[in-house]
Amino acid sequence: EAEWKLPSFGKQLFLGSFRLDLIHPQPRLDPDAIERGERFLADLRAVLAAEADPLEIEREARIPDRVVDALKRIGALGMKVPPEYGGLGLSQVYYSKALAIAGVWHSSICTLLSAHQSIGVAEPLRMFGSEEQRRKWLPLVARDHVSAFLLTEPGVGSDPARMASTATPAQPALGATPVDDDLVAMPVEGGYRISGRKLWATNGTVADIVVVMAKVPKSDGHRGGISAFVLPYDTEGVAIEHRNAFMGIRGIENSVTRLENVFVPQENLIAREGDGLRIALSTLNTGRLALMAISVVASKWATKIAREWAGERVQWGRPIGKHDAVAQKLAFIAGSAFGLEAMLDVAARLADNKRNDIRIEAALCKLYGAELSWQVVDALMQVRGGRGYETAESLKARGEKPVGVEQCMRDMRVNRIFEGSSEIMHLLIAREAVDTHLQAAGGLLMGNGGAKAKADAAVKAGLFYTKWLPQLALGKGQDPRSYDEFGPLATDLRYVERSSRKLARSTFYGMARWQAKLEYKQTFLARIVDIGAELFAISATVCYADTIRREQPERRQEATELAQLFCAMARRRADTLFGELWANDDDSRYEAAQRMLEGRYTWLEEGIVDPSGEGPMIPSPD
């Protein structure tokens, strides 16, 4: 999105302004929303316990129809759909809780529900659809029509803007043909003809309705651009070519779908032509919080299993949790689980409150949650040892509790790839983080235009930085009495305030040093983003602990202890990242990678037998 219409805690944090007032005090949940949410969570727990056998799903690699039917009966497909359209209208907080419950039972159930509601038909129509579209489609997806989101293509992954076709048919009324596997939507009388091929469509093998992204060629009367369409999946010309299988999430219904000259009526266009990417990226805010819910529940489950196992397993006469090497991992697991839950709680309440722009916070949750929860599950695997590596089915067969740590590890790995890989998330967040700088000094950095244009750009940049830079010199974080209302956690907020200004200065130094080449310094930008993520995590953790103090006073001391544990770890990571901004071996490693690509080290590959088989890494266009 080009504009910031609402305040953003994340944006201000990267600019060196610690706006604690934007996230604290956290908005209280509406009592009706709590009652409605708790009632649904009880129904969901009952359905999962009665109908869903996690070992069966893992063994058969499918969610049984009885499970999906039971979920439909309790309204699980309509969790996010407003009540006036037949849904439950759950808050983001309770939607996240529901996904967590489903995810801890089996990841495939959570994936089915989140893909359907976070990025499927419901969210794009709720946010961008016309009233007529909402009344037509939302009751269906709230009750029993499973939906999917068709964006990725064989030649288009993290760069959806490349979806544009390079060919335009001479006769638009005859439709279009896919070129380089791009998806083309040709305007015809009364609608569009869509042709192309979509990859990795979650729910794509069982969907009834989908949102499909396609490129409309620009022409007279047509704005053109990547556009979003609602498409009934039984429309003539839609074919499921393949059900994809993956390392984890074994019950996922994920397809390769081909569309050949598929007719879509004009009224199925969501918003305007050319709005497709805006719709996709906006709905991903919800999708990214859904992934954060999965990261949170995996970490909370890891805490439970680690505690039980480390207290029961005895080695050298003591429970393994009494040994320092294991105790360090237990503390890391528990502290991380608390910090991740805090981030999700803060972000979800902000989403429900609708007073803040949460695009940066949602993206940070997705990135940080995926990375940290992977480390948590890896630590759990180490604590469980051989039993962690053994399947739950095997453990059960020999009489032990079927604890699926290896399954959790397989399932969690994809979170660092889904809905924006960690590398892409770093770049997206970095772009948002430096947006103000680009507006103020973009013309100067890029060096576009003649002498007058450069002079004007210099004046504009000078006016901005003359005012902005002095604000980074002093702040509340240098006052030892500031934030005292947070008790022992005040020191962590003072650290965030000081570090926020330091982060902003570091970003400015990077811009001054590399100027237009900054965009190529991806590792530097990634560290900037990671520091911001740690600062957001610390802020959220302190706020969450304070919320627990107010709403659950009996847990006040325990929450403070966990918050202190997490903040200490996060501060250490942030300090390390600050040092690595300027003391690193990034350039030499990049140069080594280029030599590797040139074939300089192919002798290193000698002595192996590659079992991969024949076939191209990337298939040629059909």
Instruction: For the chain, give every domain's residue range.
Output: 1-145+275-433+474-589, 147-273
Class level of CATH domain 147-273:
mainly beta
Instruction: Quick: pLDDT tens for 170-210.
Output: 244 444 444 445 677 877 778 899 988 999 999 999 999 99
Instruction: Quick: pLDDT tens for 241-265.
Output: 999 999 999 999 999 999 998 999 9
Both tokens assigned to 341? 């839950």
CATH superfamily of 1-145+275-433+474-589: Butyryl-CoA Dehydrogenase, subunit A, domain 3 (1.20.140.10)
Say if CB 8 and CB 359 are below 8 A apart.
Answer: yes
Both tokens assigned to 97? 């809780």
CA–CA separation, 495 vs 514, rounded Å?
Answer: 28
Closest of 287, 353, 341 to residue 80, by C-alpha:
287
CB-count burial class (<10 Å; 0-12, 13-18, 19+) for 522:
middle
Residue in this structure with the two tokens 């805690």, named with its chain if needed: 9
Q: How far is CA 473 from CA 433, 469, 500, in A?
A: 20, 7, 11
Residue 502 host element (H or E): helix 490-514
Closest of 79, 596, 137 to residue 290, by C-alpha:
79
Instruction: Quick: pLDDT tens for 57-84.
Output: 999 999 999 999 999 999 999 999 999 9
Q: Which residues contact 475 (CB under 8 A, 6 or more apart)?
A: 18, 497, 498, 500, 501
Q: Which residues contact 549 (CB under 8 A, 6 or more apart)?
A: 556, 559, 560
Predicted confidence (pLDDT) at residue 373 exceeds the cutoff of 90: yes
Say if CB 216 and CB 185 are below 8 A apart.
Answer: yes
Give residue 154's pLDDT band: very low, low, confident or very high (50, 70, 90): confident
Closest of 497, 583, 574 to residue 530, by C-alpha:
574
Averaged pLDDT, 308-316 = 97
Averaged pLDDT, 379-392 = 98
CA–CA separation, 304 vs 118, rounded Å?
Answer: 28
Task: Kindly state the greatest CA–CA separation across the chain.
Answer: 81
Closest of 371, 315, 309, 293 to residue 113, by C-alpha:
293
Instruction: Quick: pLDDT tens for 546-575.
Output: 999 999 999 999 999 999 999 999 999 999
Say if CB 185 and CB 227 are below 8 A apart.
Answer: yes
Predicted confidence (pLDDT) at residue 622 exceeds the cutoff of 70: no
Say if CB 85 and CB 142 are below 8 A apart.
Answer: yes
Instruction: Quick: pLDDT tens for 464-494.
Output: 899 999 999 999 999 999 999 999 999 999 9
CA–CA separation, 305 vs 197, rounded Å?
Answer: 43
Both tokens assigned to 101? 């419950």
Q: Which residues are 201's β-sheet partners?
A: 255
Q: What is the pLDDT of residue 3?
A: 75
CA–CA separation, 590 vs 309, rounded Å?
Answer: 43
Q: What is the pLDDT of residue 620?
A: 66
Residue in this structure with the two tokens 């091929």, named with its chain if needed: 197
Q: Would you please indicate which residues are annotated as catalytic (active-site) residues?
A: 419
Say how many CA atoms lie within 13 Å of 609 toward its Cβ.
1
Residue in this structure with the two tokens 């990261």, named with its chain if needed: 295
Alpha helices, H only, 324-421: 324-353, 359-384, 386-389, 392-397, 405-412
Contacts 24+ apart (CB under 8 A), 186-189: 186/216, 186/217, 187/216, 187/217, 187/219, 187/221, 187/222, 188/263
Q: Which residues contact 217 (CB under 8 A, 6 or more apart)?
A: 165, 168, 172, 176, 184, 186, 187, 224
Predicted confidence (pLDDT) at residue 582 exceeds the cutoff of 90: yes
Q: How far is CA 22 from CA 2, 398, 497, in A?
A: 21, 53, 14
CA–CA separation, 402 vs 399, rounded Å?
Answer: 9
Q: Count how many residues are written for the chain.
A: 622
Averaged pLDDT, 575-588 = 98
- Would you tell me how many other CB atoms lie within 10 Å of the CB of residue 295? 30
Closest of 562, 404, 413 to residue 489, by C-alpha:
562
Tell me the pLDDT of the chain averaged across its residues.
92
Say if CB 301 and CB 24 are below 8 A apart.
Answer: no
What is the reported pTM? 0.94
Q: Which residues contact 237 (CB under 8 A, 6 or more apart)?
A: 259, 260, 261, 262, 263
Instruction: Quick: pLDDT tens for 337-350.
Output: 999 999 999 999 99
Both tokens assigned to 578? 């600050």
Predicted confidence (pLDDT) at residue 133 exceeds the cutoff of 90: yes
